[in-house]
Structure 1
Amino acid sequence: MPKHISAIVVALILILGFASPVQAATPRSSWVENEIYQYNHPFASQLPQELATKMQKMTASPFAFYRGTDHIFYRDMQTLPSSDFVNSSTSAIWLEGDMHLENLGGMRDSNENNIFDTTDFDEGYLGPYVWDLRRMAVSIMLAAKENGLSSSDAQDVVRNFLDAYLNKMSDFKGTNDELSYRLESSNTNGVVRDLIQKTSDKSRSSLLTKYTQLNKNNNRIFQTTSELQPVSSSTYSDIAGVMSSYIASIPTSKRYNNNYYTLKDIRLKLGSGTGNLGKYRYYLLIEGPSSATTDDRILEMKQEGSSAVAMAFRPPEVIAVPGLLPTSVYGNQEGARVTIAAKAMLSNTDPLVGYTTVNSIPFMLHEKSPYQVDFDYKLLTTKSKFIDAMGYAGKVVAKNHAISDKDYDAAIVSVSADKEVTDIVSGSKALFKDEIVNFAVDYTTQVEYDYKSFVNAYKQGVTL
């Protein structure tokens, strides 16, 4: 066991009998049922039907279950052994936190570049860099199996993902290249390039047509559908009342005049995503750059809670694990935490990213982009397509980690992540890849056990 692991953690590992970074997967039905209930039940009182939708979505496949249960992953990170390739400098860097294939996508940044990047930062937090790699590696294994690839081929895809990550981190070491690095149509191929090109085909008018309409007074308002529901007058008033707080959360250098943020309509958005179902999500229609109805903007306003990553640093309380993100960094406002995480890990960030609080509930706001295209892993129908796409995913995760280190805010992360990761893995790439792949193979089996436990409980009508 490497010297950099604390004596307390070493003692715990010896007591529990962990001798390597892999622990044999095992069925644990009661534990899984309880974990899902404890995490989700607080939302049953506010949006019970959304919570029911979440549970139904998670029955679709082990991948869908994994996507909706990042809290289980981080409960396991709390007790599973650390990595031989983590030291004090690499144990507290910015993590995306819920790194999986469907949190990647095509987008347009604020400088009008169409790119492939990370699309969600709700779980953004500090932790060991390998946690993002582990979580993505398991998602690759699950998606590859669902798409008909063999375990051996899936492991090759994971190794390629890791190679791309390590090579890009090495490229970044000693340079500032990460600050301008982006994946666009000129330096991508295959499914990823197709995705970026779809981004360029999108338009604001199409998004407005999809969600809004002009009323008899020629004012733009939201449509009312099964997924877009009117809010009560009190909720409308509460949200309108915190718009000034949201505007104030945007740096003055990126802030538009107040007319830009004039609130025109609100809807409760239902059915979006998986992991966040049960939390409030609103769409806000605002004026935009002019009084014309053609350039209105749609804001997505998402309820935020504690990052699931933080669960890995909670009880048992005898373990003193460093690396927690001090609440002072984000003023104990979880919407602010997500805002900071997005700014740390993205270049040319959406200028409408901000946060506010409604009735003691923290929210993060950003533009519902007309140009975002979600990544569809079901298009990866062959090993070569999978390898190609996940090579780009490795580069994205490397960029996330490298750009969010001391380059972003040295008061939060004081080291150069690209240097520290490159140095600690140097000369041991094969061992590093073996460690992550072995973890992914074993943990994929654990997810499959947990999924089976969940589906059985769901079918039996257990309250989850």
Structure 2
Amino acid sequence: MEEALLSRVRNTRVALREQQIATIFNEFDEQCMQLTDEQRVEKYKKMLESPFRFYRGSAYLFYYDVTKTPSIFHSLDTKPTWIMGDMHMDNFGAFQNEKGDIVYDVNDFDEGYVGSYLYDLIRMSVSIGLYMDEQQVEEAAQEQVIESFLNSYINQLKRFQLKKEDAFTLNFTKANTKGPIKKLLKKLEKRKSTHLLEDITEVRDGKRVFVWSEEVHPVSAEMFAAIKDVLPQYEIKDIALKYGSGTASIGLKRFYILVEGQKDAAGEEDLVLEMKEVRTAIPAYFLRYSERFWSAFAHQGARAVGTQKAMHHLEDPHLTYVTMDGQEYYVRERSPYKKKVKPKHYKSLDDYIVTAEIMGKIAAKIHARADIDYSDVFTYHSEDEILERISQHHEMFVQSTVLQAMHYKKMVYSDYDLFKEWAEQKYSELQYGEVSKEVKNEQA
């Protein structure tokens, strides 16, 4: 066989995948997200920091792939689950709820949509593998942790189905958690409720205002006036443009709003609201169109707010949505207790296992809570529908999901290498191997 033909045999699959990646990134980042070249460079720099970062910033590639794989465990199209849409290790964290309790839960609702519960579980399982790879934990241990997450999810759904616990009242505090999560929640109890204000604001000429930094920038007078117009219920002291948050969110406007005379969950006056631009949920491009869902949540801010209200046991009293200059936003309180478990907090395999078990319970809680009990979009209990797909094949479900997650994790590494080559050609100004200041701070 001629060398040229052999070369084509060797390389066609890789060339086609590279073309897919380029097409998908151009379609979503340029056409759907409408990111500028400068914003794409910023986003891709962050994604190139690690395969896990790449995974976090490429949810559309994930859904493009996994929605092509059938499974006997998927929800029926006629009875979908309200999914978080971007479930991964870094989208869980601590915050203070409406009662003033410090709890651990999911904390990102930008991609909330309706579809098979399995997409949340697969995306989370892949993230566990990538996250533990970064900490140089062997694959056998990764599989054990993923199994713990999945088994905990199923067992918690069964508890809801048997009415042993209520998804509306169950929350996760220091009283019913273990390991790194429990330690984090106990530590946060000692944090002052004014922690955030002291960190990013100062009193200048008798007035509290934001402190400008690399991540917190002033806004124009026109922007200040526009935000005041869409939030007339608040007495606004200062507004800042926030940079450097997230990976998939780069290119979306995010503001911090310092509000006077309002009380946070702990009854403290002066608090910081976060106003974030939101676009169509990525899963919606790939999953079945739901007329009923979109008739209730046509505004993307309403969708994100609805997702948070559906999934959290208590809602943020400042949660709302607005439209400004034709762009859709949601608004929520920026909790002074917002913090996640970081790699340095895992001291043993058992720490990973107990953390994954709690995350599995939380995943079950948000899926069980966001159904007929909350919204008339649904006419059934999600836990019943999910368990009907799983319960008779529990062990097979766990093993097949672990297998799929570990297989896809390998794809992420291959895609990450192809993405590097593509980004180098398209944006020569990207500097590979440089970790941003933000990431260093996160790891500190």
Quick check: TM above 0.5?
Answer: yes
Q: Is structure 2 residue 275 aligned with structure 1 residue 287?
A: no
1:342 aligns with 308
| Unaligned runs of at least 5 residues, structure 2 | 1-12, 431-444
Aligned amino acid, residue 77 of structure 1:
V
1:423 aligns with 388
| CA–CA separation in structure 2 for the residues paired with 1:27 and 1:136 | 27
Q: Structure 1's 135 and 324: CA in aligned 2 closer, same or farther, altered over 3 A?
A: farther
| CA–CA separation in structure 2 for the residues paired with 1:235 and 1:221 | 16
2:371 aligns with 405
Stretches (4+) displaced over 6 A: 24-27, 43-47
Please state how far the C-alpha of 1:359 moved relative to its aligned partner.
0.6
Instruction: Output the TM-score relative to the length of structure 2.
Output: 0.87
Task: Say if 1:144 and 1:154, in contact at 8 Å, map to a contact too.
Answer: yes
Please state how far the C-alpha of 1:386 moved relative to its aligned partner.
1.2
Task: Say if 2:75 and 2:115, in contact at 8 Å, map to a contact too.
Answer: no
Aligned amino acid, residue 420 of structure 1:
E
Aligned amino acid, residue 195 of structure 1:
L
1:172 aligns with 160
1:187 aligns with 176
User: Comparing 451-460 with 88-97, which one deviates more in the overlay?
Assistant: 88-97
1:329 paired residue among 293, 296, 310: 296
Task: Say if 2:29 and 2:35, in contact at 8 Å, map to a contact too.
Answer: no
Aligned amino acid, residue 416 of structure 2:
Y
1:39 aligns with 28
1:254 aligns with none
Please state how far the C-alpha of 1:183 moved relative to its aligned partner.
1.3
| Unaligned runs of at least 5 residues, structure 1 | 1-23, 245-257, 314-320
Identity over the aligned pairs, expressed in percent? 30
| CA–CA separation in structure 2 for the residues paired with 1:214 and 1:230 | 16
2:207 paired residue among 216, 219, 242: 219
Q: Secondary structure at the match of 2:159?
A: helix
Please state how far the C-alpha of 1:241 moved relative to its aligned partner.
1.1
Please state how far the C-alpha of 1:288 moved relative to its aligned partner.
3.4
2:273 aligns with 299
Instruction: Output the TM-score relative to the length of structure 1.
Output: 0.84
| Cα distance per residue 1:16-42 (max 9 Å; x no partner) | xxxxxxxx9997112112222222235
Task: Say if 1:213 and 1:223, in contact at 8 Å, map to a contact too.
Answer: yes
Q: Structure 1's 369 and 144: CA in aligned 2 closer, same or farther, altered over 3 A?
A: same
Higher relative contact order (CA 8 A, sep 6+): 1
Q: Structure 1's 26 and 161: CA in aligned 2 closer, same or farther, altered over 3 A?
A: farther
| Cα distance per residue 1:196-234 (max 9 Å; x no partner) | 123322223221111111121x11111222211111111
Task: Say if 1:92 and 1:323, in contact at 8 Å, map to a contact too.
Answer: no
| CA–CA separation in structure 2 for the residues paired with 1:219 and 1:356 | 27
RMSD, aligned α-carbons: 2.4
| CA–CA separation in structure 2 for the residues paired with 1:460 and 1:51 | 14
Task: Say if 2:83 and 2:120, in contact at 8 Å, map to a contact too.
Answer: yes
Q: Structure 1's 27 and 188: CA in aligned 2 closer, same or farther, altered over 3 A?
A: farther
| CA–CA separation in structure 2 for the residues paired with 1:307 and 1:132 | 14
Please state how far the C-alpha of 1:48 moved relative to its aligned partner.
5.5
| CA–CA separation in structure 1 for the residues paired with 2:343 and 2:294 | 35
Q: Is structure 2 residue 411 aligned with structure 1 residue 446?
A: yes
Q: Structure 1's 378 and 36: CA in aligned 2 closer, same or farther, altered over 3 A?
A: farther
Number of matched pairs: 413
1:3 aligns with none
Q: Structure 1's 311 and 275: CA in aligned 2 closer, same or farther, altered over 3 A?
A: same
Task: Say if 2:72 and 2:389, in contact at 8 Å, map to a contact too.
Answer: no
2:251 aligns with 278
Please state how far the C-alpha of 1:86 moved relative to its aligned partner.
2.5
Aligned amino acid, residue 240 of structure 1:
K
Q: Secondary structure at the match of 1:56?
A: helix
Q: Structure 1's 434 and 45: CA in aligned 2 closer, same or farther, altered over 3 A?
A: closer
